[in-house]
């Protein structure tokens, strides 16, 4: 188990290249199994969730070669369509292998995925879309059996723009006869990344990034290369850390458009933000003000993953901030821990009200999930004394060498491995 120690009070200065995106990498790793190709992937972050996806690919018979800068996946040999329960339980994104396996093998045997306990997190949209494409799916307890003699294209209406369901349909549609159209698709940058990777292996996909995506067959290639874009939630976390602690940091390799809603609120809270090319500079006096009502929404709205982190950054802000969480039912799990540091937050259903306080104090906290854990680090950076975050491995699921990154910016943090 990792135990984070954070001594608050240091301002952050310096520059940092933001790691590759977790949420772009995971569906692309599943996609690498859709066709028998060799994929050369760059900028794949070293994360527990990536390791979990690689374990699944290796179990399915793919060759994996991880070098310093490249990850090569050779899926020309493929030995099975079954993913054991213990591998499925390691992360939520394992569900994306359902579409990949159906496309590759015409069958998939897996179980309900693991991941952060952010709410009910059903997969009804995934299952109903795959059924519309000709898959027969039976569920027995936590086990799911899918079979399709031949998948066919379909017109699929998503009642909610689920990121995972959109990605699963895109993968299954690679092997379907005819055109698949997704109406009400997720518009997240990670969906666009998946399209870019799939285009590299010869899949004809139009409209990714808009609400209507069409997938229109495959002209298979033998090999592709793809560079994973930067992680917009890690960039948001570092920006929030600087905003809360004070200082000036430069984030490089980022696309500011992809986390512009987070930057907007930091700017409203009093930070100076400068953006040029792939660089964003954040300056903060370390004294923020309430930035207005934060409402999470599907992209291009404010990302639910950044909500706990921005909440933590605003704990000492002047005034009252209202937050409405619209994506997950259980996304305020960080609140009880932040209150233990002196934070003044009340929650009623989807609404949270944060009243800024003068001071936060350290304490021993438990990370409830990935972003909740990151929120505690951001809170600790601005607290008096030492904050100890008992983290059951959550932060390492999404942040690569985060302790080193923060230390290089001047923070006083270290991890005790127990």
* Residue ranges in contact with ligand UD1 by CB under 6 A: 23, 26, 92-93, 119-126, 160, 162-165, 190, 304-305, 327-328
Closest distance of CB 23 from ligand UD1, Å: 3
The residues, ordered by sequence, that sit 6+ positions from 2 with a Cβ below 8 Å of its Cβ are: 391, 393, 395, 396, 415, 416, 417, 418
Structural tokens at position 82:
């079954």
Nearer Cβ to ligand UD1 (328/399): 328
Q: In the complex, what is the shortest distance from the CB of residue 369 to ligand UD1, in angstroms, rounded to a whole number?
A: 10
CB nearer to ligand UD1: give 305 or 337.
Answer: 305
Q: Report the nearest approach of ligand UD1 to the CB of residue 361 (Å).
A: 30
Which residue, 250 or 306, is less far from ligand UD1 as judged by CB? 306
Least distance in angstroms from the C-beta of 91 to ligand UD1: 8
Name the residue among 189, 194, 200 with its Cα closest to residue 235: 189
Catalytic site residue from 116, 146, 174, 242: 116
Tell me, yes or no, if 116 is annotated catalytic.
Answer: yes
> Looking at beta carbons, which residue is closest to ligand UD1?
164
Min dist. Cβ of residue 160 to ligand UD1 (A): 5
- Catalytic residue positions? 116
């Amino acid at each position: 188990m990792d135990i984070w120690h954070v001594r608050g009070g240091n301002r952050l200065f310096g520059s940092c290249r933001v790691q590759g995106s977790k949420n772009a990498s995971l569906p692309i790793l599943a996609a690498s199994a859709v066709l028998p190709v060799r994929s050369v992937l760059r900028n794949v972050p070293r994360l527990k969730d990536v390791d979990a996806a690689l374990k699944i690919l290796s179990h399915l018979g793919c060759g994996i070669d991880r070098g310093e800068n490249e990850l090569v996946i050779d899926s020309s040999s493929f030995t099975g369509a079954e993913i054991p329960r213990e591998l499925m339980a390691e992360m939520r994104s394992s569900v994306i292998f359902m579409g990949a396996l159906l496309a590759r093998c015409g069958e998939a045997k897996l179980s309900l995925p693991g991941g952060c306990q952010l709410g009910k997190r059903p997969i009804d949209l995934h299952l109903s879309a795959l059924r519309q494409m000709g898959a027969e799916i039976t569920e027995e307890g936590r086990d799911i059996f899918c079979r399709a003699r031949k998948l066919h294209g379909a017109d699929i209406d998503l009642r909610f723009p689920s990121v995972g369901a959109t990605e699963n349909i895109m993968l299954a549609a690679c092997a379907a006869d005819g055109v698949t159209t997704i109406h009400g698709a997720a518009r997240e940058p990670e969906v666009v990344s998946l399209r870019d990777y799939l285009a590299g292996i010869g899949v004809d996909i139009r409209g990714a990034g808009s609400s209507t995506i069409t997938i229109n067959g495959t002209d298979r290639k033998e090999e592709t290369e793809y560079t994973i874009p930067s992680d917009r939630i890690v960039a948001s976390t570092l920006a929030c850390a600087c905003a809360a602690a004070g200082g000036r940091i430069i984030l490089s390799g980022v696309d500011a458009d992809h986390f512009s809603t987070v930057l907007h609120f930091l700017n409203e809270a009093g930070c100076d933000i400068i953006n040029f090319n792939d660089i964003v500079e954040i300056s903060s006096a370390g004294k923020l003000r309430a930035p207005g009502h934060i409402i999470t929404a599907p992209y291009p709205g404010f990302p639910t993953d950044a909500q706990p982190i921005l909440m933590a950054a605003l704990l000492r802000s002047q005034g009252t901030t209202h937050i409405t969480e619209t994506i997950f039912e259980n996304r305020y799990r960080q609140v009880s821990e932040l209150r233990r540091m002196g934070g003044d937050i009340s929650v009623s259903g989807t609404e949270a009200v944060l009243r800024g306080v003068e001071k936060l104090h350290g304490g021993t906290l438990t990370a409830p999930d990935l972003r909740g854990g990151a929120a505690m680090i951001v809170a600790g950076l601005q607290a008096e004394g030492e904050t100890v975050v008992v983290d059951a491995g959550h932060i390492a699921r999404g942040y690569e060498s985060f302790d080193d990154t923060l230390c290089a910016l001047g923070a006083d943090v270290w991890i005790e491995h127990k």
